[in-house]
Structure formats: structure tokens, C-alpha cells
């Protein structure tokens, strides 16, 4: 493939409850109509790897936006904002869903949109992706990268911010789902991935799961040497782009 | 793990914070999870903050499990040897109330 030129910038989007926040938006240059992708950041924050990932997907031909889910914490470095959010118990699901929906709307409002929008998320963003697939309409493709807590074994993990286990909403999922998981991951465990797949299968959902030996959590993340697995990541990215090509054009 | 499990310790003291300035600290948020910066799969992380002042500044550490256990041991050893050196009489002088006043006077 040839890599298109791209334009990337920080933009303002109107998220949940009308709050205005920052998002990183990268898209191919030119006038071609392209599919859109919302990148849901991982729990550590809106960090350099997430920004790079947003550009990577744009390089593959998609208008890609990643909302800064911690923007309500104010200004500060990604790690400091992430620490504050962690100490506060995370961002409410309703807020994240509102922000993701707003970014989908943002993408479809752009003149380069072909009308298709996918959602991909990593770590907690993988869980958010699964949840978005069950709660939001108008998604054309879902990619859950090692989202933990889709299956909730400890009821104490449910609270006002995360009141429902996403697995319990699977019936409502309409978009095709790609799931990528490391077999050494602790959250989700291989068993939890199996149980998620069993529910998807039972309900007749359109999904494909890929599991990688020798990989744990966040194995795409080249900035974290203990987690990164080059071979598995390369194969995983191929599957992501093949999936997007099929469902987003 | 990527959990939201955080243990909170109530503290009284100071830490050298962002910009090299000393700041009061009243809370340590402690968690064992994937670190942000340290090249470790999991790390014992501590964020020293002052919730009374909004908690926006922090002094953070991310250390290995082994490091954390050694640190615990050395803190206990330092406290024990300090108690021996200073004697129980120091308890009155350096009681929490006394220390609070002393630290407060620094700011």
C-alpha cells in the first residue's frame, strides 16, 4: 500500500453533557471520502502512544479521532491527569459514551466522511469499545484490544461510575466485533475471553477473536518494553486494518 | 491489571514537588498496576499529594515489587533505629500535633 499524506491537529469537540474538550484528529489529505475511526484511549491516559496510534490509523487511510477522556480534569501532563482520574475511581461510563458518540458525530460531519465509523479501544478503552457497541447506534466496526472488566467476576467492581458489566449488554450489540487478546493477560484473563466469546457465539453475534501466545496486556505498545511483543503486534495490526477495510472501506 | 484499586494513606509532612518546590502532603495514593514510565510490567506506584490543596500536584514513584518490599523493610529499620537513638521522650516533642505545627510553620 501507499501511505497518504495526512493532516493532524488538536481539535475541540462537544462531548457528554455539552462539555467542550480536546481531541486529536488525524486524516488523510486529499478529497477522497474515507471511513472514520474513533480511538478510545487506554487507562494511563491520552499519552504519546495513543496520539501515535491515531496517526497510524490515519496513515492507513482513515479519518481518525481520539478524544481526551480526562479533559475535565483540566490541564496537566497525561500521567498526572491519569493519576487523578485513577484516584477518583475512573471516568463514568455515561461520560465516556457521550464523548465517543460526540466524536462519531464529529467524524460524520466532516466533508471527507464516507459515512462509516468504527471504534477501537485499548485496555480500559477496549472495555469502552465493547460497551459502545452495546449502547451506541451507528457504529460500523468495533475493535476491542484487551479490554478488561468486560466480564465482571467481583460484584464490588460495579459501582455508580461503572454500574453494568458490558457482557450483560451483549444482546444489544449490532456492529461486527474484532477482539485481540494476549493469553498471558491478567485482565482480561484467557478464561474471561473465552466466556465473552461464548456469549457472543450464543447470541449469534458477528465477531472474530484472536488470541496470542507469549503476549500479555498492551502488547501493541512499543513504548513499554515489558509489554511489547513485536511479532504479535504486527499480526494484530494486520488484522485490525483488514477488519477496517472490510467494514469501513 | 489496569484496575482502579487505590489504597489511600493519610500522611502529614512535605515532599519536594514539581519545579523543585517543597509542598505539603496529606495523602499517599498507593497502587500496584502497570506503571506509566518505569519499564516494568507491574510496579508499586505511590502518588504523594495534598488533597487539602486540591491534589493537583504530586510527587510520584513507580518501583518494582522487590524495591517496594525492601523500602518497607528499610523504613521500619530506620524508624526502629531512630526510636533507639532519640528515645521515647522524643514522642512528646515530635508528636503528630507538634509536627503539624512545625511543618505548618514552613509554609
pLDDT tops 60 at residue B55: yes
Q: Do A148 and B29 touch (CB under 8 A)?
A: no
User: A207, A141, A196: which is closest to A169 by C-alpha?
Assistant: A196
Q: What is the pLDDT of residue A3?
A: 76
Domain-by-domain residue ranges, chain A? Answer: 6-248
pLDDT tops 60 at residue B90: no
Say whether A31 sits in a helix, a strand or coil: coil
Domain-by-domain residue ranges, chain B? Answer: 7-105
Q: Which residues of A touch B8 (CB under 8 A)?
A: 87
Please give the interface size between A and B, counted as residue pairs whose CB atoms are below 8 Å apart: 55
pLDDT tops 90 at residue B85: no
Q: Which residues of B touch A218 (CB under 8 A)?
A: 34
Interface of A with B in 151-180 (CB under 8 A): none
Q: What is the pLDDT of residue B96?
A: 52
Of B34, B40, B58, the CB nearest to A217: B34
Q: Is A186 on the interface with B (CB under 8 A)?
A: yes
Give me the residues of chain A with pLDDT under 70, please: 1-2
- Classify residue A186 by its DSSP letter: S
Alpha-carbon distance of A217 to A227, in angstroms, equals 6
Q: What is the pLDDT of residue A33?
A: 96
Higher pLDDT, B103 or A97: A97
Residue B39 Cα, gap to closest chain A Cα (Å): 6
Assigned CATH topology for domain A6-248: Rossmann fold (3.40.50)
Alpha-carbon distance of B34 to B64, in angstroms, equals 11
Percent of chain A with pLDDT over 70: 99
Q: What is this structure's pTM?
A: 0.91
pLDDT band at B65 (very low <50, low <70, confident <90, very high): very high
* Alpha carbon of residue B56 to chain centroid: 16
ipTM attached to this prediction: 0.81
Q: What is the pLDDT of residue B102?
A: 63
* Alpha carbon of residue A85 to chain centroid: 18
- Give phi and psi for B33, each to the nearest 5: -160, -170
Strand partners for A11: A23
**Angle (nearest 5°) at CA A107 between A122 and A118:** 40
Alpha-carbon distance of A15 to B52, in angstroms, equals 30
Q: Do B36 and A44 touch (CB under 8 A)?
A: yes
Q: Which residues of A touch B56 (CB under 8 A)?
A: 74, 76, 80, 84
- Classify residue A183 by its DSSP letter: T
Amino acid at each position: 500500500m501507499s501511505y497518504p499524506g495526512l493532516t493532524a491537529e488538536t481539535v475541540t469537540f462537544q462531548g457528554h453533557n455539552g462539555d467542550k474538550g480536546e481531541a486529536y484528529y488525524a486524516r488523510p489529505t486529499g478529497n477522497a471520502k474515507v471511513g472514520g475511526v474513533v480511538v478510545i484511549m487506554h487507562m494511563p491516559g491520552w499519552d504519546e502512544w495513543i496520539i501515535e496510534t491515531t496517526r497510524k490509523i490515519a496513515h492507513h487511510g482513515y479519518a481518525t479521532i481520539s478524544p481526551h477522556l480526562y479533559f475535565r480534569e483540566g490541564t496537566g501532563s497525561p500521567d498526572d491527569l491519569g493519576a487523578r482520574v485513577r484516584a477518583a475511581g475512573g471516568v463514568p461510563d455515561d461520560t465516556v459514551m457521550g464523548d465517543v458518540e460526540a466524536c462519531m458525530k464529529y467524524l460524520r460531519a466532516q466533508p471527507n466522511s464516507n459515512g462509516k465509523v468504527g471504534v477501537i479501544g485499548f485496555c480500559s478503552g477496549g472495555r469502552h469499545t465493547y460497551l459502545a457497541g452495546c449502547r451506541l447506534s451507528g457504529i460500523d466496526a468495533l475493535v476491542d484490544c484487551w479490554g478488561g472488566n468486560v466480564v465482571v467476576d467481583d460484584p464490588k467492581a460495579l459501582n455508580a461510575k461503572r454500574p453494568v458489566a458490558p457482557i450483560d449488554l451483549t444482546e444489544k450489540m449490532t456492529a461486527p466485533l474484532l477482539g485481540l487478546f494476549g493469553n498471558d493477560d491478567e485482565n482480561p484473563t484467557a478464561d474471561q475471553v473465552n466466556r465473552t466469546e461464548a456469549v457472543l457465539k450464543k447470541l449469534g453475534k458477528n465477531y472474530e477473536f484472536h488470541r496470542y501466545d507469549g503476549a500479555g496486556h498492551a502488547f501493541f505498545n512499543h513504548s513499554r518494553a515489558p509489554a511489547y511483543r513485536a511479532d504479535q503486534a504486527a499480526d494484530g495490526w494486520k488484522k485490525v486494518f483488514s477488519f477496517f477495510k472490510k467494514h469501513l472501506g | 491489571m489496569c484496575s482502579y484499586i487505590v489504597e489511600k494513606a493519610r500522611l502529614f509532612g512535605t515532599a519536594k514537588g514539581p519545579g523543585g518546590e517543597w509542598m505539603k502532603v496529606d495523602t499517599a495514593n498507593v497502587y500496584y498496576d502497570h506503571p506509566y514510565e518505569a519499564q516494568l510490567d507491574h510496579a508499586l506506584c505511590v502518588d504523594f499529594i495534598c488533597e487539602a490543596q486540591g491534589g493537583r500536584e504530586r510527587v510520584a514513584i513507580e518501583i518494582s515489587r522487590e524495591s517496594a518490599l525492601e523500602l518497607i523493610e528499610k523504613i521500619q529499620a530506620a524508624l526502629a533505629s531512630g526510636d533507639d537513638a532519640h528515645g521515647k521522650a522524643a514522642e512528646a516533642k515530635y508528636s503528630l500535633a507538634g509536627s503539624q505545627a512545625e511543618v505548618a510553620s514552613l509554609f
